[in-house]
Amino acid sequence: MCGALRPSDAGKKAVLMGWVNRRRDLGAIIFVDVRDRSGVTQVVFSGEHNAAVHEKAEELRNEFVIAAIGTVKLRDADTVNKNIPTGEVELVADELRILNEAKHPPFLPGDTSLANEEMRLKYRYIDLRREAMQFNIELRHKVALAIRDYLASQGFFEIETPFMTRSTPEGARDYLVPSRVQPGTFYALPQSPQLFKQILMISGFDKYFQIVRCFRDEDLRADRQPEFTQIDLEMSYPQPERVWETVEGFLTAAFKAAGHAIKTPFPRMDYDDAIRQYGIDKPDLRLPAFTEVRDCFTPGDFEQLAINKDLPVVAIRIPKVGELSRKERDDIKPMFISKGGARVFEDFKRIESKFPDAGAKIRQKAGAAPDDLVVLVVGSAQSGKDDHPAGKRKVTPAELAIYASAGLLRVALGQKYAAKHGLFQHGDFRFLWVTNFPMFEYDEGDKRWVAAHHPFTSPHEEDMDKLESDPAMVRALAYDVVLNGTELGSGSIRIHRQDIQRKIFHALGMTEEEAKSRFGFFLEALEYGTPPHGGIALGLDRIVMILAGAESLREVIPFPKTAAAKDLMVDAPTPVTAAQLRDLGIGIVKK
């Protein structure tokens, strides 16, 4: 192992096998750093010590695979390299075998500057040799192992479910696999094992988990991949708290495996409170919450500023941003995405000079120090009455529009000024459970209610009777686990009764026939004695990305796809032969 030699090994014989990481030819002496996944050790080929081996070492080039056999020696004090664990020793070579030569690679694993990402993905095997990637992939292994161990210790079985299945209900597009033996029919790759894990509860396995690949054909962003890995679990007879405890348990184990202690239980927050305080259902608790400052203005102020006094007036505070230039203030405007007529006052200094009373009150109420950035988000005076179908909700759609506009701006400002406020430190992990989501969302385009989660999520027991009469007010027994503004996972207590499942399908506007043709097998299974059950799924890639402090999921997935859903190394997807298409009974239509 190239990273394992220590001063106590001095005098011993050793064999190092690995790649030539770097070669320095000083004439009479050649130094070669040999690298494997455990680290690097310096090997010395000295003409004086062994002329034949020294001569052979002249052939060595970067990324050759070699075996060096020799004696471990302490380095002279002035040549000790404190930056690496093997820096106090070196191997004096008696023998050198070149196990394989290497073409000069397009970039070197030891390069200090990173190659462009296309290059890295095309030559992924070289990229994966880099220390940072070796670290990330090992971290991923350790995290997954810790999760498996923890869940197994709690009585969960890891059970596999099919990849070739039928369309599942997570709401994205399916990846389809054509059937050759039944031409014209298709399997779908699972968007999640949702229905299988529920069926495993009906099958009597009471605690299931799986670290499993899921496939969703959707537009990709930095934190999305067409195939990604979930820690999927399901259990029989749980209250939500049991699911939360289980998740907190395996996350504790996972974070410990990565060297971090986390505190449990995680705080919990109602969806409505998350919206009112943070304007988003995945609050980043590292930044201050909003302050509602409506009461800091007089009726006259509202009029002059054309603020709607019946809607929230939200102060966003970002600490320690300091004085902003005119241009920096102007830059805030395009960061603001207005929903429902929401407006932004990015120049708080102007409010303070024109409305000194209100300004002082706001500063005080928001606890804003002189160098904190304060930005206000308000409703416009003309925003109309709320006759929306969800108008009776605790947070009305008109209020939601303001909170949501402010929420996005808060996140964007938090990111932009991260270096100034210094609140985003690696290792500061703020977890949160968000609960009591609304069961339905109103689709403005289709003018109908749609499931906010997948349609197997159970409504609150007390809200059952409102399913048809007042869908806006039905809460779901659903929960999300959030970390530093990222949704790590979501789950729910499920519907376990066939009559209620039918009712939900009906409330979602699905006809009896549609429900039967899509989920008939499942509705039937529910009729054969289904225990109450619930579960959750968390994104493994995201967890590892956060633990690695990485910017993108691609840094923690060995063979990821690009934003255009391509694998640049194997060059997929590709056209297939006419014979393959003929076999499948498929013709290609040019779009």
Give residues in contact with ligand ASP (CB under 6 A): 170, 192, 194, 490-492, 535-537
**Beta carbon of residue 478, minimum distance to ligand ASP (angstroms, whole number):** 8
Q: CA torsion, points 337, 340, 341, 342, in degrees to nearest 10? A: -60
Token reading at 97: 């075998």
Instruction: Please state, as a whole number, how many other Cβ atoms lie within 10 Å of the Cβ of residue 4.
Output: 14
d(CA 268, CA 279): 16
Whichever of 21 and 194 has its CB closer to ligand ASP, that residue is 194
Rounded (5°) CA angle 478-284-476: 10
**Beta carbon of residue 169, minimum distance to ligand ASP (angstroms, whole number):** 8
d(CA 239, CA 346): 45
Burial of residue 428 (number of CB atoms within 10 Å: 0-12, 13-18, 19+): exposed
The owner of tokens 């471990």 is 72
Whichever of 94 and 170 has its CB closer to ligand ASP, that residue is 170
d(CA 363, CA 375): 11
Whichever of 257 and 525 has its CB closer to ligand ASP, that residue is 525
Whichever of 459 and 491 has its CB closer to ligand ASP, that residue is 491
**Beta carbon of residue 285, minimum distance to ligand ASP (angstroms, whole number):** 22
Distances from the Cα of 533 to the Cα of 264, 436, 488, 495, 500, angstroms: 23, 17, 21, 8, 14
Rounded (5°) CA angle 22-545-320: 105
What is the Cβ-side half-sphere exposure of residue 518, based on CA atoms within 13 angstroms?
12
**Beta carbon of residue 455, minimum distance to ligand ASP (angstroms, whole number):** 11
Whichever of 435 and 490 has its CB closer to ligand ASP, that residue is 490
Whichever of 192 and 291 has its CB closer to ligand ASP, that residue is 192
226: preceding bond cis by omega (within 30 degrees): no
**Beta carbon of residue 11, minimum distance to ligand ASP (angstroms, whole number):** 57
Residue number of the CB closest to ligand ASP reads: 192
**Beta carbon of residue 226, minimum distance to ligand ASP (angstroms, whole number):** 14
Rounded (5°) CA angle 56-38-13: 50
Token reading at 280: 């988003």
**Beta carbon of residue 490, minimum distance to ligand ASP (angstroms, whole number):** 5
d(CA 287, CA 404): 16
Answer for the pair 371, 333: CB distance below 8 angstroms, yes or no: no
**Beta carbon of residue 209, minimum distance to ligand ASP (angstroms, whole number):** 11
Strand 373-379 vs strand 314-318: parallel, antiparallel, or unpaired? antiparallel
User: In which element (H, E) is residue 86 found?
Assistant: none
d(CA 17, CA 34): 7
Sheet of strand 342-345, all strands in order from the earlier edge strand to the far edge: 291-292, 314-318, 373-379, 342-345
Whichever of 407 and 491 has its CB closer to ligand ASP, that residue is 491
**Beta carbon of residue 504, minimum distance to ligand ASP (angstroms, whole number):** 14
Whichever of 190 and 312 has its CB closer to ligand ASP, that residue is 190
**Beta carbon of residue 539, minimum distance to ligand ASP (angstroms, whole number):** 9
**Beta carbon of residue 491, minimum distance to ligand ASP (angstroms, whole number):** 4
Whichever of 319 and 535 has its CB closer to ligand ASP, that residue is 535
Whichever of 214 and 545 has its CB closer to ligand ASP, that residue is 214
d(CA 290, CA 362): 11
Whichever of 232 and 399 has its CB closer to ligand ASP, that residue is 232
Q: What SS3 class is residue 263?
A: coil
